[in-house]
Amino acid sequence: MNPSKCKTPARKVRTLLTRIIFPSLLLVTSAYSGQAPRPPANYRDNGACPFECCTYRRWSVDTDTVIYKDQSEKSGVAFRVRKGEHVVGLTGVVITLKPGKAAVRKATTIGEGKRKTRVKPGDVLYLMHYLGEGFYKTWFRGVIYDLEMSTTIQVLTEPDTVWWVKVRNNRNQVGWSKQNDNFGDMDSCG
């Protein structure tokens, strides 16, 4: 007897459960509770640089700063940089600890192309993090949009976020810091 044929019914059951039954239960649960789906917990926007003209490049060190091995102060110290030194900002990640909220005040269309959707007064948009110049990374019904807040969409609460930046020093050591205010020359516009 072929052992792979013995596993086939189990695979079919798993496929049935994961593709049909579990998603159906989620839809029924959402419909029954009367609430729209919520954004993901601890949303991570890898590569984000969260303000207008934010740029990963050579940065000045404005304040002595501890650089950690990973995106946690518990990961251990990788190295330290001193005021007056320079580092290269390589990338970053904005982590949304708690989304903010915005309310739709007037019916409008958000998104572009195939991702366009209509929102109506009373709809709640979740703000994942600020992008700069009045724009936010926004979550609505499972889709992420970059939206400008206006009289049509009004911010109710700001999101709670942390921005970890990955830097390299002149000794080619690499590590992470969430003390991004300790660095200068991050703004390519100024």
Q: What is the pLDDT of residues 147-170, one digit of tens each?
A: 999 889 999 999 999 999 999 999
pLDDT at 27 over 60: no
What predicted TM-score, i.e. pTM, was given to this entire model?
0.77
Q: With cut-offs at 50, 70 and 90, classify the pLDDT of residue 88.
A: very high
pLDDT at 84 over 50: yes
CA distance 126 to 98: 10
- In terms of phi and psi (left: phi > 0; alpha: psi -120 to 50; beta: otherwise), the region of 133 is left
Please report the pLDDT score of residue 23 as a whole number: 42
pLDDT at 10 over 90: no
| Number of residues that this document lists for the chain | 190
CA distance 118 to 42: 26
* Neighbouring C-beta atoms of residue 93, cutoff 10 Å: 17
The pair of three-digit structure tokens given for residue 163, joined into one six-digit string: 């921005």
Please report the pLDDT score of residue 78 as a whole number: 98
Q: What is the pLDDT of residues 31-78, one digit of tens each?
A: 334 455 789 888 999 999 999 999 999 999 999 999 999 999 999 999
CB-CB contact of 144 with 48 (8 Å): no
* Cβ partners under 8 Å of residue 159, min gap 6: 96, 97, 98, 99, 100, 127, 128, 129, 130, 136
Please report the pLDDT score of residue 146 as a whole number: 94
CB-CB contact of 140 with 156 (8 Å): no
